[in-house]
Amino acid sequence: MTTRLLTLIALTATLAACTSMPERNSDLDRARGRFNVAQRDAQVETLAPEELKQASTTLDQAQNAWDKGQPKATVDHLSYMTAQRVIIAQETASSRASQAITAGAAAERDKLRLAQRTAEADLARQQLAASEQSNARKTAELAQADATAKQNQARVDYSDARAQALELALKDLNAKKTERGFVITLGDVLFDSGQDRLLPEGAGYMVRLAEAFKRNTSLKASIEGYTDSVGTSTANAELSDRRAKTVMAALMSQGVLADQLNMRGMGENYPAASNDTAAGRQMNRRVEIVFTPNSDVILAR
Amino acid sequence: MKRHLSILGRLSSPALVMTLLITAPAWAVAPLDLGEKMAVAEASVKQANTTSTNENAPIELQIAATKLISARRAWSDRDYLRAEHLAEQAQVDAQVAQIHAESVRSSKAALESQDAARALVEEINRPNIR
């Protein structure tokens, strides 16, 4: 009987313990609050999904224990476990985020270093290329300058040689150096008296003279006819003109170019000597070949 | 003695068995896996005790260690449910200490690497003296 009573008391006590549970468990509420914060955190959701799931499972266990009226100690314990698992999820996420930053920074550094090396290499290559180009250009310039110098030297040598040859040739032709330039005087003796025809004796000389013109196509000359003062000045002018023409024709017949020559009759003007003596008059009857000073610069010497 | 036995015999009714089962406190018998849980907690706390946690999570480590001591005491007091809870908590606390230390370390490393990157950028951008 006593035992039955005791049993009843015990049963009642147990039931009383069950029904006198508070409406809420503050630890569980706190744990849920923390879990919700973590769950709303995109970083945690992304970087620690597994850890968050464990916290969620533990929270469910705590809620379950609470719903089933398990002892407060059990609910509190599971709530504590939930809160700790939330912390684990959060710390894991933050740790992984930091690691990602570190890895990213390292990658960025590597990229920067690589870019730097590449830039340096490019610069070096460019400088090398530029210097090679510059060397090549300088070499080419030197070669060009050398060639030009040689050419100039050759030209100088050539024109020196040509000028010397021409001078020799002109001297050989009895050209006289005067203030008007080199002048060849063809005397009266080469012409029939009073005629414009060249005597055969002068033919050899004309060939040599033509040769000098042909060898130096830049050589130009003016063929000027002169007479003494005997006779009318008109007749003298015509005679001097005809003789100059004869000489020019003779040279052209030998192959001298027309543009190397021009001619004019000077008549009795510009006598070379006095017309009072026979010797003087003979000297005045002449054809002068005046080499144009600018036909060859060297001649101006 | 004889009378006592007879009482037990008389009391072996379903009602009594049920009563005994309901009123028996949870800690009356040690859970089968408590030993295992204690061992796990011991190992976790021991594993969490590193230079890094001592430096970066000393409080968290202290909490775990204290929980473990409390768990041992509860076990020896035959407060098995409490021992089980404390063992589980010590284990999760040890985990928190470790992960917190790691988080602090990672955060420092991230700051350092960002500083290094900044320094490198500055160095690269510095006009070259050639």
- Is the C-alpha dihedral spanning B70, B32, A82, B107 positive or negative? positive
The answer to whether B45 and B94 have CB atoms below 8 angstroms apart is yes
Exposed e or buried b per residue across A181-193, where buried means at least 16 C-beta atoms within 10 angstroms of its C-beta: bbbbbbebebbee
The answer to whether residue B37 neighbours chain A at the CB level (below 8 Å) is: no
Cα gap A192→A25, rounded to integer Å: 158
- How many domains does chain A divide into? 2
Q: Which of B59, B93, B107, B125 to mutate to test the interface with A (most CBs of A within 10 A)?
A: B107
Nearest-CA distance B106 → chain A (Å): 5
Listed ranges A223-227, A258-262, B66-70, B113-117; the one with the highest mean pLDDT? B66-70
Q: How far is B23 from chain A (nearest CA, A)?
A: 7
Token representation of residue A3: 């035992």
For A109, other C-beta atoms within 10 Å of its C-beta total: 16
pLDDT tens-digit series, residues A269-282 = 888 888 888 888 88
Q: Which of A257, A272, A180, A259 is nearest to A225 (CA)?
A: A272
pLDDT at B61 over 90: yes
Asked if residue A129 and residue A58 are part of one domain, the reply reads yes
Helix spans in A173-232 (H): 203-215
Nearest-CA distance from B103 to chain A in Å?
4
Residue A42 has pLDDT above 60, yes or no: yes
Taking the Cβ of residue B42 and every Cβ of chain A, the question of whether any pair is shorter than 8 Å is answered with no
Nearest chain B CA: its distance from A46 CA (Å): 16
Q: What are phi and psi of A291, to 5 degrees?
A: -80, 125
Residue B117 falls inside a structural domain: yes
Q: What pLDDT score does B96 carry?
A: 96
Q: Is residue A6 domain-resident? A: no
Chain B closest-CA separation from residue A23 CA (Å): 23
Give the C-alpha separation, B40 to B27, whole Å: 20
A1 in a domain, yes or no? Answer: no
Q: Residue A67: pLDDT above 70?
A: yes
HSE (side-chain half, CA atoms, 13 Å) at B106: 19
Total domains in the fold of chain B: 1
Tell me, what CATH number does B117's domain have? 1.20.1270
> How many residues belong to chain B?
130
CATH of the domain at A249: 3.30.1330.60
The pLDDT-based confidence of A74 (bands split at 50, 70, 90) is: very high
Sheet containing strand A261-265, edge to edge, reads: A176-178, A181-187, A286-291, A221-226, A261-265
Same domain flag for A152 and A177:
no
Are A182 and A136 found together in one domain? no
A263 within 8 A of A186, measured Cβ to Cβ: no
Residues of A in contact with B96 (CB under 8 A): 84, 87-88, 91
In this structure, are strands A221-226 and A286-291 parallel, antiparallel, or unpaired? antiparallel
Residue B97 has pLDDT above 50, yes or no: yes
A44 and A153 inside one domain: yes
What average pLDDT does this structure show over A249-278?
A: 88
Same domain membership, residue A237 and residue A267: yes
* CA atoms within 13 A of residue A197's CA, in its CB half-sphere: 5
DSSP label of A28: H
The pLDDT tens digits of the residues spanning A137-181 come to: 888 888 888 888 888 887 777 777 777 777 777 777 778 888 887
Of residues A56 and B126, more confidence is placed in A56
8 A C-beta contact, residue A59 and residue A35:
yes
Q: Least CB-CB distance to B116: which of A84, A87, A105? A: A105
| Residue B14 within a domain | no
Q: Is residue A2 part of a domain?
A: no
**pLDDT score at A300:** 37
How far is B38 from chain A, CA to nearest CA, in Å? 16
Instruction: Assess if residue A40 is contained within a domain.
Output: yes
Does residue A272 share a domain with residue A147?
no
A113 within domain boundaries: yes
| Shortest Cα distance, chain B CAs vs residue A92, angstroms | 6
A84 pLDDT above the threshold of 90: yes
- Assess contact for A181 and A135: CB atoms under 8 A: no
Q: Do B22 and A108 touch (CB under 8 A)?
A: no
Do A190 and A266 belong to one domain?
Answer: yes
Tokens representing A163 are: 């000028």
Does residue A187 sit in the same domain as residue A120? no
8 Å CB contact between B38 and B87: yes
Mean pLDDT score, B15-26:
48
DSSP A293: G
> DSSP character for B127?
P
Cβ neighbours of A80 in B, within 8 Å: 89
Range of the domain at A114: 23-158
Structure tokens at A110: 């590597």
Cross-chain residue pair B89–A77, CB shorter than 8 Å: yes
**Amino acid in position B112:** E
The answer to whether residue A262 sits within a structural domain is: yes
> Residue B56: is its pLDDT beyond 50?
yes
In a domain, B1, yes or no: no
A203-207, B54-58, B111-115, B125-129: least confident range: B125-129
A147 domain-assigned: yes
- Mean model confidence pLDDT for chain A: 83
Contact B95 A92 (CB under 8 A): no
Amino acid making up residue B46:
K
Q: Are residues A206 and A140 in the same domain?
A: no
Q: Which of A88, A98, A105 sits opposite B106 (nearest CB)?
A: A98
Same domain, A140 and A188: no
The average pLDDT across A95-120 equals 86
**CA–CA distance from A189 to each of A98, A197, A198, A283, B116 (Å)?**
122, 11, 9, 10, 111
Query: What per-residue confidence (pLDDT) applies to B22?
Result: 46
Question: Is the pLDDT assigned to residue A247 strictly greater than 70?
Answer: yes
Domain final residue, candidates A124, A158, A192: A158
Enclosing domain of residue B51: 28-125
Spell out which residues of chain B touch residue A10, defining contact as CB-CB under 8 Å: 19, 22-23
Least confident of A20-24, A135-139, A222-226, A260-264: A20-24
Amino acid A143 reads: A
Domain co-membership, A222 together with A290: yes
Asked whether residue A85 falls in the same domain as residue A114, the answer is yes
Which token pair is B74?
């509860």
B96 contacts A3? CB cut-off 8 A: no
**Residue A281 C-alpha from the chain's centroid:** 74
Higher pLDDT, A131 or A201: A131
Cβ separation of A84 and B102 shorter than 8 Å?
no
> Is residue B11 included in any domain, yes or no?
no
> Could you tell me if the ipTM is greater than 0.90?
no
Q: Which residue has the higher pLDDT, A184 or A82?
A: A82
- For A94-108, A220-234, B7-21, B25-39, which range has the lowest pLDDT when averaged over its residues? B7-21
Instruction: Show residues of chain A in contact with B106, CB under 8 Å.
Output: 94-96, 98-99, 102
Both structure tokens of B118: 């900044």
**The dihedral sign for the CA sequence A251, A254, A258, A261:** negative
B22: chain A residues, CB-CB within 8 Å: 10-11, 14
For residue A171, give both structure tokens.
């001297």
Judging contacts by C-beta atoms under 8 Å, the chain B residues touching residue A12 are none
The span from the CA of A250 to the CA of A265, in Å, is 16
Question: Which residues in chain A are contacts of B109 at CB distance < 8 A?
Answer: 98-99, 102
pLDDT confidence band for B24 (50 / 70 / 90): very low
- What are the tens digits of pLDDT across the range A187-209? 776 777 677 777 777 778 888 88
Does B47 map to a domain?
Answer: yes
What's the DSSP call for residue A273?
S
B7 belongs to a structural domain:
no
Give the model's pLDDT for residue A293: 64
